[in-house]
């Protein structure tokens, strides 16, 4: 089954073709992502109306480009998958409208995919994918969650952030130190030059039981340290390193607790912060010490992309699931509401 995936939940336009007749990394026939970073940079954050308009401009050319790279015509597709939520309602409607129109014109089944389920399943596109049950850490600009995956489509929330998501904390911390938008990747790069231990920040909510997160207080600690410093480049790098170490350690501690609680030694990590090198190394070390494994998607598939939507949609379409012709999106959507994916 060749499935076209469309992702337009926020500020990236993603398109991909996933072929279930192939396996591992070969199954992803082609994928492309257009980022709106330059468009939103002058505003210091995503402007929803501008994001929606840019999806309108970019989506159809990106679909043509991706199909050409896959060596396919629209008539050779077997299904269409699109992000139906959560996300910005206007942006979601662009992708849903195009996907539903294509499916209707080509007489193909189509399905709306949960954005976070797409992220969660992205590591399963790699060679030697993990088998459920396992624990998933979903860590991005909008979400920080620990989820027990009992089977694909059956998810149980173990813990989540009570305020800022980890990626959001990265971005806000970078902004208060004067780094350009988007700040998270800039801060992580700057931290590579920082001295470990020069600034020591707390590991929030690790001194008590539980699997929830909170990063707003950590952000305030960094703000106070920055204001009281000489604000030089060396200090900026040292603070960035101290902040990154605090976030990484916090995530690792909570992941270990979640694995213990779920009785598992398999951890899946997905979302934009999953590309962070220090986080990957920390979790690899933790998994090795436990005699388990940790699975990541390739860095290009950590941020929003059409590949994860094509893959998640293909699993459900193969199982006989599809939606009616209504153009419908769900900007706020609890992943626990999803139905299990029956065996194909």
Annotated binding site for Fe cation: 115, 119, 304
CA distances to 32, 54, 55 from 39, rounded to whole Å, are: 18, 9, 12
What residues have CB less than 8 Å from 141, skipping those under 6 apart? 165, 167, 168, 170, 171, 184, 272, 273
CA distances to 51, 78, 111, 126, 282 from 296, rounded to whole Å, are: 28, 28, 25, 8, 13
The two three-digit tokens of residue 259, written as one number: 């694995």
Q: How far apart are CA 10 and CA 270, in angstroms?
A: 17
The two three-digit tokens of residue 333, written as one number: 């959507």
Beta strands in 178-333 (DSSP E): 266-270, 293-295
Contact present, 325 and 12 (Cβ < 8 Å): no
Q: How far apart are CA 198 and CA 246, in angstroms?
A: 12
Q: How far apart are CA 63 and CA 108, in angstroms?
A: 16
Q: How far apart are CA 140 and CA 166, in angstroms?
A: 6
Total number of residues shown for the chain: 344
Which residue's entry shows tokens 């398999």?
Answer: 266
Closest CA to 5 of 37, 36, 33, 35: 33
Q: Known binding site: residues?
A: 115, 119, 138-142, 171, 184, 276, 304
Q: Known binding site for substrate: residues?
A: 138-142, 171, 184, 276
Closest CA to 121 of 321, 299, 271, 300: 271
């Amino acid at each position: 089954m060749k499935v076209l995936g469309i992702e337009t939940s926020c500020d990236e336009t993603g398109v991909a073709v996933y072929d279930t007749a192939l396996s591992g990394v070969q199954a992803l026939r082609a994928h492309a992502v257009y980022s709106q970073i330059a468009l939103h940079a002058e505003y210091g954050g995503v402007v929803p109306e501008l994001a929606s308009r840019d999806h309108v401009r970019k989506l159809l050319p990106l679909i043509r480009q991706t199909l050409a790279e896959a060596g396919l015509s629209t008539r050779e597709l077997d299904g269409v998958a699109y992000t139906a939520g959560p996300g910005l309602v206007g942006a979601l409607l662009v992708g849903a409208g195009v996907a539903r129109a294509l499916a209707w014109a080509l007489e193909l089944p189509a399905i709306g995919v949960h954005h976070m389920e797409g992220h969660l399943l992205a590591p399963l596109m790699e060679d030697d994918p993990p088998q459920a049950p396992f624990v998933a850490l979903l860590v991005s600009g909008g979400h920080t969650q620990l989820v027990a995956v009992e089977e694909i489509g059956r998810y149980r929330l173990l813990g989540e952030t009570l305020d800022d998501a980890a990626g959001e904390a990265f971005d806000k911390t970078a902004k208060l130190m004067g780094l350009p938008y988007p700040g998270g990747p800039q801060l992580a790069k700057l931290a590579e030059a920082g001295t470990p231990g020069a600034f020591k920040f707390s590991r929030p909510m690790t001194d008590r039981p539980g699997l929830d997160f909170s990063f707003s207080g950590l952000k305030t600690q960094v703000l106070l340290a920055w204001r009281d410093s000489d604000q030089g480049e060396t200090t900026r790098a040292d603070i960035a390193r101290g902040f990154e170490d605090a976030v990484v350690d916090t995530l690792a501690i909570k992941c270990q607790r979640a694995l213990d609680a779920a009785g598992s030694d398999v951890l899946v990590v997905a979302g934009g912060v999953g590309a962070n090198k220090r986080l990957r190394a920390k979790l690899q070390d933790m998994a090795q010490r436990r005699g388990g494994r940790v699975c990541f998607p390739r860095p290009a598939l950590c941020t929003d992309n059409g590949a994860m939507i094509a893959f998640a949609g293909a699993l459900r379409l193969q199982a006989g699931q599809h939606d009616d012709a209504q153009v419908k999106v769900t900007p706020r959507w609890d992943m626990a509401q999803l139905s299990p994916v029956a065996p194909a």
